[in-house]
Amino acid sequence: MAVIQEMFRESPFEPLRYHMKTVMECVSFVRPLFEAVRDERYDDLDGLAKKVFKAEHEADLIKDDIRRTIPKRFFLPVYRGDLLGYIKLQDDMADSVEDLAVLLTLKKLKLPGSLADSVFGYLDKVVQVCDGTSAIADFMPTLVEGDMVGAEATQALAMVTDLEKTEWEADRLQYSLSQQLFALEDELKPSDLFLWFRIFGELGQLANFAEKTGDRLRRMLST
């Protein structure tokens, strides 16, 4: 907790950047997880899932330290409740990756070859949304230096707008991929069809949480 306290002395957003780095460590495993399924490297898949679980647990510990340490009686440039909401949404991203790892390891899934390109196009777009959220977290110190107004605030809002557009694109890809999946319903086991649909939905949740994190920043700038 001493590390988090020291970060708060520098900036109320520095601990959030620290937490985001661990969240993005979780996100970095998304593509390797799917590659392991595609290539039927199930032992590698289990090893990757364990790394996700470890990183997600670390993100939880950092989140809890931040919650305990957010100053209650000192001036903050934003509402304390908004900071708590922001950290919750970041942590939801890590939770979503953990859920993906669980779903992908429930059974030895096989990725239909006809879906592979669409699946990886979709997941890369989801990761792009997360990268956009991470970039916003990295921009926070600059935003605070500008007192969260002026050119810095305008730039931050533009970043949020770009994030929303990318998340919308991910939604469209998810819809198209789901259509392709159900076109294979006569070829797939019902359990596999259902599980892949759950997996694609969880990827969408990851993108949604990332986008909502940006939206929470917009709320901070408008209060």
User: Is 60 exceeded by the pLDDT of residue 95?
Assistant: yes
Global pTM reads 0.90
pLDDT recorded at residue 66: 84
pLDDT recorded at residue 73: 46
Per-residue model confidence as pLDDT tens digits over 156-180:
889 889 999 999 999 999 999 999 9
pLDDT recorded at residue 144: 67
Q: Tell me which of 96 and 6 has the higher pLDDT.
A: 96
Share of the chain above pLDDT 70, in %: 87
Share of the chain above pLDDT 90, in %: 65
Give the chain's domain count. Answer: 1
Mean pLDDT of the chain: 88
Range(s) of the domain holding residue 207: 2-222
Q: Tell me which of 215 and 81 has the higher pLDDT.
A: 215
User: Is 50 exceeded by the pLDDT of residue 188?
Assistant: yes
Rounded distance between C-alpha atoms, residue 212 and residue 215, angstroms: 5
Per-residue model confidence as pLDDT tens digits over 12-69:
677 888 899 999 999 999 999 999 999 999 999 999 999 999 999 999 999 988 888 7
Per-residue model confidence as pLDDT tens digits over 100-149:
999 999 999 999 999 999 999 999 999 999 999 999 888 877 776 656 66
CATH of the domain at 138: 1.20.58.220
DSSP the chain: -HHHHHHHHH-TTHHHHHHHHHHHHHHTTHHHHHHHHHTT-HHHHHHHHHHHHHHHHHHHHHHHHHHHHS-SSS--SS-HHHHHHHHHHHHHHHHHHHHHHHHHTSS-----GGGHHHHHHHHHHHHHHHHHHHHHHHHHHHHHHTTT-HHHHHHHHHHHHHHHHHHHHHHHHHHHHHHHHHTTTTTS-HHHHHHHHHHHHHHHHHHHHHHHHHHHHHHHHH-
